[in-house]
Amino acid sequence: MHALMTELFGDARYLVQGGDWGAAIGSWMAHDHSEAVAALHLNMVLLQAKDVSPKTLDELAWKARREKLAKEETGYAKEQGTRPQTLGIAMADSPVGVAAWILEKFGAWAGAPRDEQGRPDLWQAFNEDTLLTNIMLYLVEGSFITSTWIYRGRVLEGSGEFPVGSRIKVPTGVAAFPDPVFSPPPRSHARKTYNIVHWSEMAAGGHFAALEEPELLLADMRRFFAAQASSKARRWRRLVGTAGFVGVAAIGLWALTGGDRRPKNTEARHRATYPPLDVPKPVADGVWIVDSGPINAMGLALPVRMTILRLNNGDLFLHSPTPFSAEVAKAVDALGRVRHLVAPNIAHWTFLADWQRAYPDATTWAAPGLQDRAQVRASSVRFDAELGQTAPAEWADTLDQSLVPGGLALTRSGSSTGRPSLLLVDLIENLDPDKLPPIARRLMQASAATDGTTARYLRLPVRLGRADAKKAVLAIVALEPDRVIFAHGRPFDSNGAAQLKRAFGWLT
């Protein structure tokens, strides 16, 4: 297909859309010719990389449904993939046989209305001319036998999945139609292989989307391809996504003369951080912090902190993992089974790879947009799911969750005061001036990063987010937590509600 496109259009880049076999062929085109495919739109996510597996509860439930349906609905593929010639010859002189073979699939796969016994009413989903035309394409051309060989070819080529480590870099959009047999995977699972930048949950339609709901499919294609063509829109999205880090970059460059010199001995390291280091320290029921660092963040030596939360089922949730070591892992293992590794914003992910190697069965969660960043896609870090505005089923009974500027916000009950503990990332910074080198100290004080508030260079995303962002921040204040933990600086160990109100005074 790529050869045909280059023959017709030379070196011009092109768009690809596909469903069913078109989804498979289109996906392989994006895999093999990413320099030529400008964007890929699918209405069926058919292929995944060999090393991709379901992790979240939604993904595992989807896999179980697919496996159950596969036992009942893929006999045709087994026959066509192993004995295509036998089937083709049997069908060559049997118009009724061809019609039965094809119409059965229309009935099982389309979003057709069904009676009380589950039998589809094809004539409400399609008119007779459409179905007869489809059947006649096989009969008049004598193409039934050749059409089955594509299934045999897939078996011989082993093209039913991508090689280990494959990741489709081409921007991909998905129109997820409610296919009754080949149901779309959760978006989190599709993202493990594809660069998903657009996802639409379609309200109607089935496997034959272009026949059943052509206007819905066309409208989604237009939205997706138009967005890819709009470089102005992409530039704006990048501006909003990076606005909060412009100030950090400028400060880091300014401080390079001295701020990037990391301590060479234990005493110097302790002066810059919050010892004891690299050990879980209990701060509330089912909550531990692991202080570490300092790390070099664009010229600044900063302390870092991981928070460990024990879920109601006993599993551990590691928020913003810090540098890995066997000693830290041993101490963590004593607390429970590590089940979730969480990168809460687009900056706190750099130590994940080592933790993933140590805990390969843990699910790794990404902040929205993190998986699309070039540095992440070029790294060895694997993400299994994306964080949303509300807590997923995996920890909904333990933690409340929301997305705010600067990353994920989580609350957990269990304080002796009866009020929850609040876990933020970078929305509040409370760096100790005495722990910073002289130049960095002056810069951080000027930016308010030492005042237990939102640093001035991180306030822009909140203002860009306007009413929604302000609402999310004020909702955090309304929780009146007893304790507030964040990634950099001294936590609010008590009286968190009052300190939060003061911290966000600039917003009201």
207 is catalytic: yes
Contact (Cβ atoms closer than 8 angstroms) between residue 382 and residue 351: no
Which member of 31, 189, 207, 348 is catalytic? 207
Question: 340 φ, ψ to 5°?
Answer: -140, 130
Task: Give the residue, 279 or 247, on which the prediction is more confident.
Answer: 279
Half-sphere exposure of 66 (CA within 13 A, CB side): 15
2 is catalytic: no
In total, the chain counts a number of residues equal to 508
pLDDT given for residue 255 in this prediction: 32
Strand partners, 429: 453
| Confidence band, pLDDT 50/70/90 cuts, at residue 418 | low
pLDDT given for residue 176 in this prediction: 93
Planar angle of CA 305, 309, 310, nearest 5 degrees: 155
pLDDT tens sequence across 57-100: 889 999 999 888 888 888 888 888 898 888 888 888 889 999 99
Rounded Cα distance between 22 and 1, Å, is: 11
Could you tell me which residues come within 8 angstroms of residue 472 by beta carbon, excluding any fewer than 6 positions away? 402, 403, 404, 405, 409, 465
User: Cis omega (within 30 of 0) on the bond before 280?
Assistant: no
Half-sphere exposure of 242 (CA within 13 A, CB side): 10
Q: How far is CA 15 from CA 36, 109, 214, 220, 233, in A?
A: 9, 27, 18, 14, 19
pLDDT tens sequence across 336-377: 999 999 999 888 898 999 999 999 989 999 988 888 787 888
pLDDT given for residue 40 in this prediction: 95
Rounded Cα distance between 58 and 303, Å, is: 36
What is the three-class DSSP state of 444?
helix
Task: Give the residue, 174 or 420, on which the prediction is more confident.
Answer: 174
Q: 310: part of which helix (H) or strand (E)?
A: strand 300-310
pLDDT given for residue 466 in this prediction: 59
pLDDT tens sequence across 275-314: 999 999 999 999 999 999 888 765 567 889 999 999 999 9
Could you tell me which residues come within 8 angstroms of residue 63 by beta carbon, excluding any fewer than 6 positions away? 54
For residues 422-457, one letter each, b for 16 or more C-beta atoms within 10 angstroms of the residue's C-beta and e for the rest, the string is bbbbbbbbbbbeebbbebbbebbeebbbbbbbbbeb
Rounded Cα distance between 483 and 311, Å, is: 18
pLDDT given for residue 298 in this prediction: 56
Rounded Cα distance between 135 and 101, Å, is: 10
What is the three-class DSSP state of 229?
helix
Q: Does residue 142 come out as left (phi exceeding 0), alpha (psi in the -120 to 50 range) or beta?
A: left
Q: Is the pLDDT of residue 122 over 90?
A: no
Mean pLDDT over residues 1-28, rounded?
89
pTM for the full model? Answer: 0.62
Pairing of strands 421-423, 385-386: unpaired
Calculated CA dihedral for residues 398, 403, 406, 411, nearest 10 degrees: -20
Mean pLDDT over residues 22-30, rounded?
94
Q: Which two tokens stand for residue 99?
A: 């019609």
pLDDT tens sequence across 169-212: 899 999 999 998 888 999 989 989 998 989 999 988 899 998 88
Strand partners, 296: 301
Q: Is the pLDDT of residue 5 over 90?
A: no
What is the DSSP secondary structure assignment for residue 489, as one 8-state letter? B
Rounded Cα distance between 201 and 389, Å, is: 17
The overall average pLDDT reported for the chain is 84
Rounded Cα distance between 351 and 354, Å, is: 6
Q: Which of 144-153, 184-193, 295-304, 317-326 has the lowest mean pLDDT?
A: 295-304
The dihedral sign for the CA sequence 325, 331, 335, 337: positive
Planar angle of CA 217, 221, 226, nearest 5 degrees: 155
End-to-end CA distance of the chain: 58
Contact (Cβ atoms closer than 8 angstroms) between residue 382 and residue 444: no
Contact (Cβ atoms closer than 8 angstroms) between residue 16 and residue 30: yes
Contact (Cβ atoms closer than 8 angstroms) between residue 487 and residue 348: yes
Sheet of 14-18: strands edge to edge? Answer: 14-18, 37-42, 168-176, 194-201
Rounded Cα distance between 355 and 302, Å, is: 21
Q: 148: part of which helix (H) or strand (E)?
A: helix 144-157
What is the DSSP secondary structure assignment for residue 430, as one 8-state letter? B
pLDDT given for residue 355 in this prediction: 96
pLDDT tens sequence across 468-485: 767 777 888 888 888 999
Instruction: Spell out the domains of the chain, with CATH numbers in brackets.
Output: 2-229 (3.40.50.1820), 253-507 (3.60.15.10)
Which member of 20, 260, 372, 400 is catalytic? 20
Instruction: For 260-293, give the DSSP string.
Output: T----SHHHHHHHS-SSPSS-EEEETTEEEEEEE
Contact (Cβ atoms closer than 8 angstroms) between residue 114 and residue 206: no
Q: Which two tokens stand for residue 92?
A: 């060559």
Task: Give the residue, 247 or 444, on which the prediction is more confident.
Answer: 444
Mean pLDDT over residues 154-162, rounded?
89
457 is catalytic: no
Rounded Cα distance between 98 and 136, Å, is: 9
Q: Is the pLDDT of residue 233 over 60?
A: no
Q: Is the pLDDT of residue 416 over 60?
A: no
pLDDT given for residue 476 in this prediction: 80
Which member of 151, 274, 359, 457 is catalytic? 151
Rounded Cα distance between 23 and 42, Å, is: 6
| Confidence band, pLDDT 50/70/90 cuts, at residue 406 | low
Q: How far is CA 44 from CA 67, 186, 194, 200, in A?
A: 17, 12, 12, 12
